[in-house]
């Protein structure tokens, strides 16, 4: 599963789940209008903590970057994680993002988000 938004500069930013040997992580890639990969061949890992991360969603931040939510089970319980990535591909909210919730297993599902119009996001 993945999601794509405009970067505001004729390109796109996409997020997707990568699974390697049973471990999933959330990866982002920025592509310009000519199809060039701007964040390296493999993109950047927005969350590569232990446990499973899945269901990424994305909104542009209005500055060429984006805010991404995802389901996150790194602590053994499902959480909603969030990460902001800069136009240059830097992780702005820590190495693996920030946990928005800490709920018993099975009570978190597919977070949704919308731009707040001021560089942030509203997550539900």
The band of 111, judged by pLDDT with boundaries at 50, 70 and 90, is confident
Shortest CA distance to 111 belongs to which of 91, 97, 92? 97
Here the tokens at position 36 are: 């060039």
Q: What is the pLDDT of residues 94-107, one digit of tens each?
A: 988 988 876 665 56
Q: What is the mean pLDDT of residues 58-76?
A: 91
Q: In what order do the strands lie in the sheet with 12-20?
A: 2-6, 12-20, 23-31, 44-47
**pLDDT over threshold 90, residue 11:** yes
The model's pTM: 0.90
Asked if 1 and 53 touch (Cβ cutoff 8 Å), the reply is no
Q: For residue 44, list its beta bridge partners.
A: 28
CA pair distance 111, 118, nearest whole angstrom:
20
Q: What is the pLDDT of residues 33-43, one digit of tens each?
A: 999 999 999 99
C-beta neighbour count of 52 within 10 angstroms: 17
């Amino acid at each position: 599963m993945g999601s794509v938004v405009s970067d505001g500069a004729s390109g796109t930013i996409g997020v997707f789940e990568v699974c390697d040997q049973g471990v999933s992580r959330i990866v982002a890639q920025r592509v310009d209008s000519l199809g060039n990969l701007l964040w390296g061949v493999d993109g950047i890992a927005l969350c590569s903590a232990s446990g499973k991360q899945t269901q990424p969603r994305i909104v542009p931040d209005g500055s060429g970057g984006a805010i991404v939510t995802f389901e996150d089970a790194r602590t053994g319980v499902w959480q909603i994680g969030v990460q902001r990535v800069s136009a240059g591909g830097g992780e702005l909210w820590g190495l693996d993002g920030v946990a928005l919730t800490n709920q018993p297993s099975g009570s978190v599902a597919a977070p949704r988000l919308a731009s707040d119009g001021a560089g942030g996001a509203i997550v539900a």
